[in-house]
Amino acid sequence: MEKYKLIISGGGTGGHVYPAIAIADAFKARFPDSEILFVGAEGKMEMEKVPEAGYPIEGLKISGLQRKLTVDNLSFPFKVISSLFKAKKIISKFKPDAVVGVGGYASAPIMEMAVRNKIPTVIQEQNGYAGLVNKIVANRASKICVAYPKMEKYFPADKLVMTGNPVRKDIIELAHLKEEAYTHFELSPEKKTVFVFGGSLGALTLNESMFNGFQRLLDEGYQLIWQTGKYYYEKYKDLLPNELPEGLKLLPFIRRMDLAYACSDLVISRAGALSISELCLAKLPTLLVPSPNVAEDHQTKNAMNLVNEGAAVMVKDIDAREKLIDEALVVLGDEKWQNSLKESMGELAKPEAANEIVDEIYKLIQK
């Protein structure tokens, strides 16, 4: 049985952490005796989510630069130096056969030390716009696995491999979950369902748009799963009647995303790379509202990649409060358009992304 040592570095957001765990799971499935070590940033979500997934993790004292002068900025050079020293110790002690960087500040020191020690390195870039850390290490990385076309704008073309984003397997086949999904959310299988979510914390624009227009959706005979995010839940729970209107499910967070997708006829979402990859696998008609509060407006680039393929509809954040419900009703009322969106979404899906990334890692180890 082949046995390897793999380090996966990076994190900071779910868009980095969950693909990293999916890669680890695929590597472990293929090489069960292998050892996998994660390296993340202290205080970030990976320090909780990775151990929950069953993997050990080391934390680095690293953070990004703030846009204004702060104490954190003044301490930034010292954090970089201490992180590089710790990364060197981790590499020296663990002796990995390969290192994967998924983006986020924690991946930079480990990738740097891996390159210096001539250890094969793989970058996994989730977005249609390259992250800062990935761009910094790209020229010296061995391979770069991407989810969108035309990434040679940011990376050396000869290193690129189009794999898609690795996501959880439980959303590939959803048809058999429909009955369970309607029961779980206490919804009617006779009505079409709209599912709105803006990440675990929530999205202000989506919540305000829904609050302004949810009654129109209900009046037109649709039902709504509205994930507010933990941050906004109490506010909207207080604003709405104690007894919610029939067909409205207001939730702070959804653990069973597979069930939410299974009973959805239209999804309204931000345009994070991970969400888009899941929606493609689930083949769901989708209205994307890109967040304007991200680096280089990369969510708009993610969304436009789908729009250009006829796979999704985009509403700008600035227009959403006025136009989102109108657009949703147009899509919901057009069965032919829904089917076209489903078909195009399915064509963009990459169900074997994690395994293809493992293929690339294995090839590099074998060299």
Residue 161 and residue 356 in contact, taking contact as beta carbons nearer than 8 Å? yes
Is 199 annotated to bind a ligand? Reply is no
Is 13 annotated to bind a ligand? Reply is yes
Distance CA 324, CA 93 (A): 53
- φ, ψ of residue 242 in degrees (nearest 5): -55, -40
Would you give the DSSP letter of residue 284?
-
Is 254 annotated to bind a ligand? Reply is yes
Is 127 annotated to bind a ligand? Reply is yes
**Coil, helix or strand at residue 221:** coil
Q: Which residues, including other chains, have CB under 8 Å from residue 239's CB and lie 6 or more apart?
A: 211
Is 286 annotated to bind a ligand? Reply is no
**Coil, helix or strand at residue 330:** helix
Q: Which residues, including other chains, have CB under 8 Å from residue 144's CB and lie 6 or more apart?
A: 122, 123, 125, 134, 138, 151, 155, 156, 159, 160, 161
Q: Which helix (H) or strand (E) holds 95?
A: none
Is 299 annotated to bind a ligand? Reply is yes
Bind-site residues for UDP-N-acetyl-alpha-D-glucosamine: 13-15, 127, 168, 200, 254, 299
Bind-site residues: 13-15, 127, 168, 200, 254, 299
